[in-house]
A and B are shown apart, each in its own frame.
Chain A
Amino acid sequence: MSGQPVLELESVEYSYRRNTALRGVSLELKPGEVVAVTGASGCGKSTLLHCAAGILAPDAGVVRVDGQDLSALPEERRAALRRTKVGIVLQFGQLVPDLPLIDNVALPLLLDGHERGEAHVAARHWLEQVGIADDADAVPSELSGGQTQRAALARALVTGPSVVLADEPTGSLDSRAGQELLDVLLQAARYRGAALLMVTHDNVVASSADREIRLRDGLIQHEVSLR
């Protein structure tokens, strides 16, 4: 794993009204690297992921994606960078309920101005990669939790992001479905060459990472190599 970091957080701080969630967290992800962020509930790990994704703007510190400081970009360019360079998988998939899977997965490309036919070709390719191409015309309510998460993963990868951010990706699944999704997640990120930052409280998920960063009270408690 070498090259310039695809994601850098430098002394990031964030507070929700009276609650300080992050107290100066720094980390970086190299291309293709898999990092697990662990820690007890409320330690700041989801806030870290939301700051990394540009969903939350840090109170202090810098977030860089592919070397670009998110806070230095105008909103429009920040949103475009987020759409194209960062893929996000949340715990419950967060698919658009009325859209067939093929359209759900194609959505980031359509929002980015791609032509519909081209977006569908790319979406079908990623539905195949995550093993649910046969469900392309189903709507989310017809899917299991595991299929929903696979679709969310396909949507996260369809733009060819440099980094995939996954917040408790297996958290809504039973043990076996969780393990299957984890395998698909790792394979797909590897196939794409994307770095993967996973927030998880699941030790099996954490064990698949190259590195573990454990948070406690908004600070890094320890960082260990798992290779």
Chain B
Amino acid sequence: MATAELVLGLLSSGPAHGYDVKRGHDAWFPDSRPLAFGQVYTTLGRLERDGLVEVVDKTSGGGPDRTVYALTSKGRDHLADWLTDPVPPAWGSADEVLRKLVAAIRTGGDAAGFLARQRASHLRRIRELRETPADDDPTSPLVREYIVAHLDADLRWLDSALDRISEQRGAHQ
């Protein structure tokens, strides 16, 4: 799960402290499990260590710790790369595709471009599976058909997402 990149996305609109990041995440994904505070702070610590975020304000005293984090330029580049790259099609990859799509829309990224690249990535994977030579294992075609069927279902969702984004873009023009 790409929690680190989502945290970068949540910080892209401006500096925030851990509590805001957690609240922002839960608002982006209201139907998924809320992000644990512990995970937010661990992630922010790791991102700071890697130079992707920096501490821009810190107040401590009687109340709770109020460390405010901001994206560094390295963090902004990392986020842009993540939002550009399609997700390698594999079992469970649809979840990350959804996360990237939501993050791209929320941060003003090129969501339609991402979906088109993701669509191409899924189609390439279907062709690879179709071109895999048959072997003696009787379960191989079953596994391949299972994966192709799931990639096909992902593609149908990607299509409707593309159409919905195009409609929204048309409505706003």
Q: Point out residues on A near B: beta carbons under 8 Å.
A: 40, 179, 203-204, 206-208, 212, 214, 216, 221-222, 224-226
Cβ-closest chain A residue relative to B129: A207
Contacting residue for B123 out of A40, A216, A226, CB 8 A: A226
Contacts between chains A and B (CB distance < 8 A), count: 48
Contact of A204 with B152 in the complex, beta carbons under 8 Å: yes
- Can you give 25 contacting A-B residue pairs, CB < 8 Å? A40-B159, A40-B163, A203-B122, A203-B123, A203-B126, A203-B152, A203-B155, A204-B126, A204-B148, A204-B152, A206-B123, A208-B127, A208-B130, A212-B120, A214-B116, A214-B119, A216-B166, A221-B112, A222-B112, A222-B113, A222-B116, A224-B120, A225-B120, A226-B123, A226-B127
Contact of A207 with B123 in the complex, beta carbons under 8 Å: yes
Cβ-closest chain A residue relative to B131: A208
Q: Is residue B76 contacting chain A, with contact meaning CB distance below 8 A?
A: no
Roughly how many angstroms separate A225 CA and B121 CA in the complex, as a whole number? 10
Q: Is residue B55 contacting chain A, with contact meaning CB distance below 8 A?
A: no
Residues A207 and B163 in contact in the complex (CB < 8 Å), given A212-B119, A224-B117: no
Cβ-closest chain B residue relative to A222: B116
Cβ-closest chain B residue relative to A219: B166
Q: Point out residues on B near A: beta carbons under 8 Å.
A: 112-113, 116-117, 119-120, 122-124, 126-127, 130, 148, 151-152, 155-156, 159, 162-163, 166
Cβ-closest chain A residue relative to B113: A222
5 closest A-B pairs by CB: A207-B126, A222-B116, A224-B120, A207-B123, A207-B127
Residues on A with beta carbons closer than 8 Å to the beta carbon of B113 = 222
Most buried by A among B123, B148, B155, B156: B123
Minimum CB–CB distance from A223 to chain B (whole Å) comes to 9
Minimum CB–CB distance from B163 to chain A (whole Å) comes to 7
Contacting residue for B116 out of A203, A204, A224, CB 8 A: A224
Roughly how many angstroms separate A26 CA and B45 CA in the complex, as a whole number? 51
Minimum CB–CB distance from A183 to chain B (whole Å) comes to 9
Contact of B124 with A226 in the complex, beta carbons under 8 Å: yes
Roughly how many angstroms separate A179 CA and B119 CA in the complex, as a whole number? 20
Contact of B119 with A224 in the complex, beta carbons under 8 Å: yes
Contact of B119 with A207 in the complex, beta carbons under 8 Å: no
Residues on A with beta carbons closer than 8 Å to the beta carbon of B123 = 203, 206-207, 212, 226
Residues on B with beta carbons closer than 8 Å to the beta carbon of A212 = 119-120, 123
Cβ-closest chain A residue relative to B124: A226
Residues on B with beta carbons closer than 8 Å to the beta carbon of A207 = 123-124, 126-127, 130
Residues on B with beta carbons closer than 8 Å to the beta carbon of A203 = 122-123, 126, 151-152, 155-156
Roughly how many angstroms separate A152 CA and B113 CA in the complex, as a whole number? 37
Roughly how many angstroms separate A206 CA and B162 CA in the complex, as a whole number? 17
* A214-B116, A225-B120, A226-B124 given; 17 more Cβ-contact pairs under 8 Å: A203-B126, A203-B151, A203-B152, A204-B148, A204-B152, A207-B124, A212-B119, A212-B120, A212-B123, A214-B119, A216-B162, A216-B166, A222-B112, A222-B113, A222-B116, A222-B162, A224-B120
